[in-house]
Structure 1
Amino acid sequence: MNIFSLDKKVIIVTGATGVLGEAFVNGIAAAGGRLVLIGRKLDIAQQRADEVNNAGGEAIAAAADVLDEAALLQIRDNVLAKWGRIDGLVNGAGGNMPEAVVAPGDDLFSFSIDGMRKAFDLNLFGTILPTRIFGEAIVKNGGSIINISSMAASQAITRVLGYSMAKAAVDNFTKWMATEMAQRYGDKVRMNAIAPGFFVTHQNRSLLTNTDGTYTERGGKVINNTPAGRFGAPDELIGALVWLLSDASAFVNGQVISVDGGFSIYSGV
């Protein structure tokens, strides 16, 4: 018996069209899971679903914004009609946005309130809403929900104010929801989070690296504070992801697991 197997488990992945989302999809497919790829770019989601299917796996793609309740409800109904169950949810949608950034030269007391709200909508409510909609189905057969936290949730990282506050709220939601579900359903359904360290994505590439591949000033600071001495590779999130989705983590609940090369524990000295 392979306790890390996701064989035939139906796993929803939001943000499946992103860089980290691609690693999530590949990891779940390799572990035998049935995938539902949700993203705003249907062409990319469909391409990734086709790759899974062509390799002998099972996947479907769906276009939706994680804040669109009607679209998520329709996806849930379609999945239940096709496979009859939902066993897991990866709340992978999220990210930073320019309106929620406070740059070094900005007036510290004039940051955009609307920008902060947008960051909370995407990162916090974009986690809460899919949990409400798909979690109800997961409870029926048992399963696991994984949120995506950040290094910015637990320590001050300059500029990214809205993102930082929203991810801190995701951590709190993870612990609160894990507790409530355990008290109501026992060990039937669990919620945990993964906190990635610094991974180069489409959103942060120009902030961390120059066009010639060298580090920007900000990128250099990150590397200097990462004992591993490098950025993470998206595939390095797969181990923690599959573990938290599988029966191997049956007694793990309400935890935020850092995958960060040591960034979160290094004092800089």
Structure 2
Amino acid sequence: MTASVKALNVKDKVAVVTGGGGVICSTMAKALAVHGVKTAILDLNLDAAQKVAAEIKAETGVESIGFSANVLNRESLEAAKKEINNQLGKIDYLINGAGGNAASATSKVEQMTPGDKLEDTFFGLQLDGFDKTFDLNFKGTLLPTLVFATDMVEKEKGGIVNISSMNSYRPLTRIPAYSASKAAINNFTQWLSVHFAKTGVRVNAIAPGFLLTNQNRFLLVDEKTGQSTPRGQKIMNGTPMGRYGVPEELTGTLLYLLSDWSEFITGIVIPVDGGFSAYSGV
């Protein structure tokens, strides 16, 4: 006899999505709502969070509420949790999507050569930029987990998905702080998955490849010609599928990691990268 296929078992669950006002995380929240997951959209920008929540409710009919919260301020997160519990119920899932990079932690040149101005190289990187980037990416994953995962531990069931990056495996030139902070998220994901393993709470991560967004478009596409910049062409050359990903292509992996389809999976980081991580360049 063929065994029956498990149900996703996500309907009517409650998910907190940090950075939910942005393109990637709002797309993730909308995809969860399609499957009946109630969402709390957290963002520094309250208008952006509420706009996404309103769109979700209008498009799916599933409850979604936008909140202003700072992932680097525990009191702010605890205040949001209180409201989420009051309005949506206990939390089942957490998507740690807030993150970013600082210009002052970005070098002007990709590789240092003799004769370069030191301020354009590694030596011109600013410590405050490193602090800002590490805080946003790593502490901005740590603090929401400290606040929102308590509901899951009490329920003895839940799922946390951290948003890493292919930079965590193969650091990109010019952005050492961002790459290193995402590598820290991978390590934290594994550590926490072991720590929580007997509580019923699973912890995994998604490592997106290259997506073309408003934040990086100016670096990857020549505005005058519409063609790839040299940096953008390097990405295309290193991605076997030969294109950028889109946010919607992250949602299947997200749903899988939160659902009962992956209930024996914890502590992994899944690349969604068009083959970038598998390709040697030859």
TM-score (normalizing by structure 1): 0.95
Asked if 1:159 corresponds to 2:174, the answer is yes
Aligned to 2:165: 150
Aligned to 2:66: 61
Aligned residue among 123, 127, 133 for 1:109: 123
Give the partner amino acid of 2:69. Answer: A
CA distance in 2, matches of 1:86, 1:156: 34
**Residue correspondences, number:** 266
Contact 1:29/1:57 (<8 A) preserved: yes
CA distance in 2, matches of 1:227, 1:175: 28
Give the partner amino acid of 1:44. Answer: A
Contact 2:14/2:89 (<8 A) preserved: no
CA distance in 2, matches of 1:38, 1:213: 34
Structure number, greater radius of gyration: 2
Aligned to 2:144: 130
CA distance in 2, matches of 1:224, 1:95: 25
TM-score (normalizing by structure 2): 0.91
Q: CA deviation at 1:65?
A: 1.6
Give the partner amino acid of 2:279. Answer: Y
Aligned to 1:76: 81
CA distance in 1, matches of 2:188, 2:121: 31
What is the root-mean-square deviation in Å for CA atoms of aligned residues? Answer: 1.3
Aligned residue among 88, 100, 107 for 2:105: 100
Gap runs ≥5 in structure 1: none
Task: Name the SS for the 2:131 alignment partner.
Answer: helix
Give the partner amino acid of 1:49. Answer: A
CA distance in 2, matches of 1:50, 1:107: 45
Gap runs ≥5 in structure 2: 110-115
Task: Name the SS for the 1:221 alignment partner.
Answer: helix
CA distance in 1, matches of 2:45, 2:226: 28
CA distance in 2, matches of 1:5, 1:52: 20
What CA deviation, in whole Å up to 9, does each residue of 1:101-159 have, x standing for no partner?
11206132332111111110000000000000001112112110000111111113100
Q: Percent identity?
A: 44
Contact 2:33/2:56 (<8 A) preserved: yes
CA distance in 2, matches of 1:84, 1:57: 14
Asked if 1:49 corresponds to 2:63, the answer is no
